[in-house]
Amino acid sequence: MLVVASSAVVTYFTLRHFNPPHVTTQQPISKEQPAPAPKEKTPDSQKPPAPAAPGLALPNATPIPARIVNSADDADLWKIANKSRAFANPRYQPSDLRIVSVPTLPGRGQDERSLRAVLMPELEKLVAAARAAGVTLRVGSGYRSYATQASLFASYVRRHGEAAASRFSSRPGHSEHQSGLAVDFAGADQTCWVDDCFERTAAGKWLAAHAHEYGFILRYPKGKESITGYQYEPWHFRYVGRELAGALYQSGLTMEEAWSYIEKAMIELKQRGTQ
C-alpha cells in the first residue's frame, strides 16, 4: 500500500510540473454598469415659467412691483394723508428736509422752500425738463409744519367757515404738505397761483402731461373731489416715485382709489414671505 501511494504521489507531481494549469484567454465580465447617456438639456423656452413675483396691477396700467406699505411709518413714500387718515405722529417732521435748489416764488420762508431729500434728484430733473421745453416752473409751497397748518386752517375757518375751509385746506396733522413730499407749483410768476386757471398756463399743462415721468402725481384731480375730499388743485403734486406715479397716471386713479389694489398686493407679498 505504501509503495502504491508513493508512486501515485510521484506521478501527480510529475504531471503538475509538465502540465501547468490551463489559463483562459477570455476577459472577465465587468460588473460595472455602462454609463448612462447624457440627458439633453431642456431649452429655456420649454422650461416651465418661474412663478411671477407679486405685482401691483392697477386697471389699464402696466403692473409694477408690489411693496409693503407701513401705514404707521409717516416717512413711507406711499403714505396717504387725507381727511380720514392722519399722520401716526401728529407733529411728524421729516428728518431729511432740505432747501430746494430749484427756483422758488419770492418771499417764501425756509419751510416752504424745503422738501425731502429723497425727491430732490427727480424734482431737479423735472424742472430741467420743463425748462428745456420752454416752461419755467417754481416751487411755491413745499413743507408745512403742524403748527403752520394749524394756524393756516384756523384763519380759513374764521374767514370762510369750517365746512368751506375743509374743502380746500387740511386740518393740522392731515396735510400732505407735512410729509415733505407735496409741492404747490407755480409758473414764471404768480399768474394763476393756487387758482384753477393754473391748468391753462404753460406750467400747468406741462405738469399735467409730464410730472408722472419724474414720480409726481396730480394729487387732487378734477372730478374726484368726492373721493379725495378736496377741490380740484391743478398746482398740487405729490411725490410717490416713478413706478407708482406712472401706474396712477395710466389708470386715472387717485391714491384713495388705488389703495384697495395696494392692500391686495401687500397681502400676496406677505403670504409669499416676500418684502
CA distance 175 to 84: 11
Which of 187, 194, 182 lies closest to 240 in space, CA to CA? 182
User: Residue 169 burial (CB < 10 Å; 0-12/13-18/19+)?
Assistant: buried
233 is catalytic: yes
Q: Could you count the other beta carbons within 10 Å of the beta carbon of residue 201? A: 22
Distance CA 143, CA 113 (A): 7
Give the three cell numbers for residue 195.
Answer: 387758482
- The grid coordinates of residue 269 equal 407679498
Query: Residue 62 is which amino acid?
Result: T
Q: How many CB atoms lie within 10 A of CB 92?
A: 20
For residue 74, how many other CB atoms are within 10 A of its CB?
19
Q: One of 112, 176, 199, 233 is an active-site residue; which one?
A: 233
Amino acid (1-letter code) at residue 143: Y
- The set of catalytic residues is 233
